[in-house]
Structure 1
Amino acid sequence: MRLGMKHFIRSRQLHGWLAVLLLALTISGCGSEGNRTADSKSTSDMTLVIGSYSVAKDAVEEILPLFAEKWKAETGHTITFQQSYEASGTQARAIAGGFEADVTLLAMEGDVDKLVDAGLVKPSWKERGEGGMVTRSIVVIGTREGNPKGIKNFADLTKPGIKVLYPNPKTSGGAQWDINAIYGAGLKQSEEKEGVKDPAAAKSFLTSVHANVESLDKSGRASMAAFEYGVGDVIVTYENELLARIAQGVKYEVVIPKDTILIENPAAVVDKYADKHGTREAAEAFVNFLLTPEAQEIFAKHGFRPVDQEVYEANKSRFPVPQGLFDISYLGGWDKVRSTLYSKRGVWYQVLAGI
Structure 2
Amino acid sequence: MQTRKKKSILLYIALMLLLVCMTAGCSKQEESSEQNEPSGNDSSNTLVIGAYSVAKDAVGELLPKFQEEWKAKTGQTINFQESYEASGTQARAIVGGFEADVALLAMESDIEKLVKADLVSSDWKQTPNEGMITRSIVVLGTRAGNPLGIRDFQDLTKPGVKVLYPNPKTSGGAQWDINAIYGAGLKLSEEQEGKKDPAAAKAFLEQVHRNVESLDKSGRSSMAAFEYGVGDVIVTYENELLARIAKGVDYDIVIPKNTILIENPAVVVNKYADKHGNRELAEAFVAYLRTPEAQRIFAKHGFRSVDPDVFAQTESTFSTPEGLFDINYLGGWDEVRSTLYSKRGVWYQVLAGL
The aligned counterpart of 1:73 is 72
**Could you tell me how far apart the structure 2 residues matched to 1:44 and 1:75 are?**
17
Query: Counterpart amino acid of 1:189?
Result: L
Q: Which residues in structure 2 correspond to 1:334-345 (within 5 Å)?
A: 334-345=333-344
Match of 2:29 in 1: none
Helix, strand or coil at the partner of 1:141: strand
Distance 2:335 2:200 in 1: 18
- Render the CA deviation track for 1:261-282: whole Å, top value 9, x for unaligned: 0000000000000000000000
Contact 1:167 1:223 in 2 (8 A): yes
Q: Within 1, Cα distance between the matches of 2:43 and 2:223?
A: 40
Residue-by-residue CA offset, 1:220-252 (whole Å, 9 max, x unaligned): 000000000000000000000000010111100
Q: 1:215 to 1:73 in 2, by over 3 A?
A: same
Partners of 2:75 and 2:292 in 1: CA distance? 23
SS at match of 1:136: strand
* SS of 2:125 mapped into structure 1: helix
Larger-Rg structure = 1
Distance in 2 (alpha carbons) for counterparts of 1:350 and 1:80: 46
* Aligned-pair Cα RMSD in Å: 1.4
CA distance in 2, matches of 1:291, 1:271: 19
Mapping 1:1-355, distance limit 5 Å: 46-355=45-354
Amino acid across the alignment from 2:143: R
Q: Which residue identity is paired with 1:125?
A: W
Cα shift at 1:129: 1.3
* Equivalent pair of 1:63/1:295 in contact (CA under 8 Å): yes
| Equivalent pairs, count | 319
Amino acid at match of 2:196: K
Return the offset for 1:172. 0.1
SS in 2 for 1:98: coil
TM-score (norm 1): 0.88
Distance change (3 Å), C-alpha of 1:165 and 1:40: closer
State the distance in 2 between where 1:232 and 1:49 align.
36
Q: Encode CA deviations 1:7-61: one digit per residue, 9 max, x unaligned.
A: xxxxxxxxxxxxxxxxxxxxxxxxxxxxxx9988876960000000000000001
Is 2:43–2:276's contact at 8 Å kept on the other side of the alignment? no
- TM-aligned CA distance change 1:143 to 1:99, over 3 Å: same
Distance 2:211 2:300 in 1: 32
Deviation at 1:340, TM superposition (A): 0.1
What percent of counterpart residues are identical? 76
Indicate conservation of the 8 Å contact 1:185/1:260, yes or no.
yes
Q: What 5-or-longer segments of structure 2 have no aligned partner? A: 1-35
Cα contact 1:45–1:78 (8 A) shared by 2: no
CA, structure 1 residues 282+214, in 2 after alignment: closer, same or farther (shift >3 Å)? same
Alpha-carbon spacing, 1:71–1:158, altered in 2? closer, same or farther (3 Å): same
TM-score under structure 2 length normalisation: 0.88
Work out whether residues 45 and 77 of structure 1, in 8 Å CA contact, stay in contact via their aligned partners in 2: no
Please give the alpha-carbon distance, in whole angstroms, between the structure 2 residues aligned to 1:182 and 1:42: 46
Structure 2 residue matching 1:249: 3-state secondary structure: coil
Amino acid at match of 1:131: E
Preserved contact between residue 167 and residue 218 of structure 2 (Cα < 8 Å): yes
Distance 1:257 1:309 in 2: 24
> Is the contact made by 1:44 and 1:77 (CA closer than 8 Å) also made in structure 2?
no
- Contact 2:44/2:277 (<8 A) preserved: no
Partner letter of residue 141 of structure 2? G
Q: What corresponds to 1:21 in structure 2? A: none
